[in-house]
Structure 1
Amino acid sequence: MGKVTDLYNRRVQAGQLRADPAQTAVLPHLDRVLDQLGQAPAPRRSAWRALLGVGNPEPAPGVQGLYLWGGVGRGKSMLMELMAEAADDIPCRRVHFHEFMQEIQAGLNAARQRGEQDTVRPVAEAVAASVRLLCFDEMQITDIADAMIVGRLFQVLFERGVTVVTTSNRVPEDLYKHGLNRQLFLPFIDLIRARMQVVCLDSETDYRQNRDGGQVWFTPADARAKSALDAEWQALTGDAEAQPLVLTVQGRQVTLPAHAGRVARSGFWDLCGRPLGAADYLAVARAVDVLLIDGVPRLSASNYNEARRFVTLIDALYEARVRLIASAADEPEQLYNEGEGSFEFERTASRLREMQDADWGRRP
């Protein structure tokens, strides 16, 4: 098991990261969690449980976790990646919070079909049996189904000795704000405060926006535009090795050909030439802070289905305030100016124009 601080410093020395005082201030908190996990005994079954063949371990005093919150683009996800890497031999899983909750809801449905009366406990204990450290990206609660079970879920995880580290754009008290039956959710906030150290990553730098208001829409989609996107990719990811990003959505896979950290790149046809829908594009928008798209074509009745998917994709990126950098056949207003769907596309063109603003993503 290593230290997050050591990994961070090596990345800085290699030129892969730029030292940030706010990020540096958070590193000891991450190291503290790993140090305590390394010293704490793993949850175990008591002798009588082992004799009876009962699988549940004894409730274990968990290591205090960490709730890291702050504005978008401050490096929270990058720090989470380093922590998961430093965990080494500690059973650890890093996962987007929304993806995790989808898995939990699927597990609850299966438990109901088996006739389980307490559906949350067996699902939570199955998670606890496989990990000691859960690293969540972007904890946010918007779904009432999640809000009603998350407190019980985490209570069992903590009982079973699971340590949770999560990032969020919101202070705990703002989770599920104005949600239906929010009073039933409030004990979860108390649980976070009791079992997790709440730390603000208070950086003045938004690394998604630190581009000096540079160009983000390149026309036409020719070799020069490709070179421009290559340069943007290099500026955003440095020497990080690009890997495909595979998202599982409702049992199917959505693949972005290249990603590094919270930056991803895809061709238009990879995203819009396949039969994907709103849930798929919402998953993409949750998984990235910056998306580069190559080769947006002119849109018309001849590629109507692809055009509709592009509209849905832009809606998802817009609502999630994802920075879009793209090469396209023409300016947004000229991409789709005749045929069925052209009138509706005016709204998308307006959004694409707004998303080119230098301050895009900074506004709440």
Structure 2
Amino acid sequence: MVSPERLLADLVPPRHFAEARFATYRADPAHPSQAAALDRLSELARQVVAPRAGGLRALLARRQAPPAVYLDGGFGVGKTHLLTSLAHAVTEQAGPGVVSVGTFVEYTNLVGALGFLPTVEALATRRLVCIDEFELDDPGDTVLMSRLLRELADRGVALAATSNTLPDALGEGRFAAEDFLREIQALAARFEVLRVDGEDYRHRAVVTEPEPLAAATVREAAHEHPGAVLDAFDDLLGHLGTVHPSRYGAMLDGVELLALTDVHPVHQQEVALRLVVLVDRLYDRDVPVLLGGAAGGEGQDLFTPEMLAGGYRKKYYRALSRLGALAEEGRRLAAADV
């Protein structure tokens, strides 16, 4: 069981983005919206850290909604880089403990561990709360997050979020309940939408297009690297089903390389969604991955065509993009051992 204290302590920019700063974001001139988003977030950082007024000015300020921005764009256009750059900028100017950064899932897990009101009290001490990859796995989570953000905004906490669809289109094609759509609309009204156009800088649509690594290569590389963990793909998938997703990050403590043998397409949606969460945690921690294909493995897609066309397709494509980058690094490490 991961303690509530650990969950709160983990709400910081992930290791992959530890060095992300506005100055290191390379806006593509072909997509002016990238530079525009960069400028707006730089301005937002200054707004968040500005000295808070006292007296009548403070009373008037509380009546104004705190800033809330929503970065919308495709995969690999730098939304998380921008989000964590904002978090770093505010922290560097206002000091530690004033910003929380986490994924949608991490915040819902926090509410599950602490309870709703204690979570509000804990996060209300922040000046800025950042939510990466705002998702809709079920209506309950959406209502929960909508209420949480409203409570924080009412207490003067600035908000910043990312996703791959506009706020008022979240859940489109997945749920149709009138009350659920009303919740989405209420949440959408809180945010200033910043579009971030561009190409996926990771340039990975799928991760298994190259010939899969031989099992012997995977095992040898795992043996050579300290901190490597070697697993059969099916064993890993089975284990994920026994661990709550909130623990996937802690499960990777000390793991420097994940080596998998007998990798094959995943056909069950609940299994695929667990794998998506694991890939996100691997990517956060910059853990390279070795993907060894099944002997005579048929099919090059990790997720089925039905999954890639379904309601969770954005999750799957994000996972493929991120896993592709980690697998490329894994191949580089394996090649260095030859």
TM-score scaled by length of structure 2: 0.59
Gaps of 5+ in 2: 1-19, 56-60, 226-242, 264-269, 296-301, 329-338
Higher strand fraction (1 or 2): 1
What displacement does 1:85 show?
1.3
Counterpart for residue 293 of structure 1: 289
Match of 2:39 among 16, 28, 43: 28
Match of 1:64 among 42, 63, 67: 67
Counting only pairs closer than 5 Å after superposition, residues 54-133 of structure 1 correspond to structure 2 as: 61-88=64-91, 89=94, 91-108=98-115, 120=116, 122-123=117-118, 125-133=120-128
Higher helix fraction (1 or 2): 2
RMSD: 4.3
Does 191-200 or 290-299 show the bigger shift?
290-299
Amino acid at match of 2:189: A
Amino acid at match of 1:268: L
Q: Report the CA distance shift for 1:186/1:288 in structure 2 as closer, same or farther (over 3 A).
A: farther
Cα deviation, 1:252-306, whole Å, max 9, x if unaligned, reads: 63217678xxxxx52228x9xxxxx94753421344679852263867xxxxxxx
* 3-state SS, counterpart of residue 172 of structure 2: coil
Match of 2:251 among 249, 254, 267: 254
Counterpart for residue 268 of structure 1: 260
* 3-state SS, counterpart of residue 189 of structure 2: helix
Equivalent pair of 1:43/1:161 in contact (CA under 8 Å): no
Amino acid at match of 2:105: H
1:222 to 2:222 alignment: no
Cα distance in 2 for partners of 1:73, 1:18 equals 12
Cα distance in 1 for partners of 2:160, 2:291 equals 38
Cα deviation, 1:163-214, whole Å, max 9, x if unaligned, reads: 11011001112212244463223344444443321011011x2112169x98
Cα distance in 1 for partners of 2:108, 2:303 equals 23
* 3-state SS, counterpart of residue 94 of structure 1: strand
Cα distance in 2 for partners of 1:107, 1:43 equals 32
Q: How many matched pairs?
A: 247
Match of 2:155 among 154, 160, 169: 160
Match of 1:7 among 14, 21, 26: 21
Cα distance in 1 for partners of 2:282, 2:132 equals 11
Q: Which has the higher contact order (CA 8 A, sep 6+)?
A: 2
Counterpart for residue 275 of structure 2: 281
Counting only pairs closer than 5 Å after superposition, residues 162-241 of structure 1 correspond to structure 2 as: 162-180=157-175, 182-203=177-198, 205-209=199-203, 215=210, 217-219=212-214, 221-222=216-217
Q: Which has the larger radius of gyration?
A: 1
* 3-state SS, counterpart of residue 77 of structure 1: helix
Gaps of 5+ in 1: 1-5, 12-16, 45-57, 109-119, 231-246, 260-264, 272-276, 300-313, 328-364
Percentage identity across paired residues of the two chains? 23
Amino acid at match of 2:279: A
Q: Report the CA distance shift for 1:186/1:280 in structure 2 as closer, same or farther (over 3 A).
A: closer
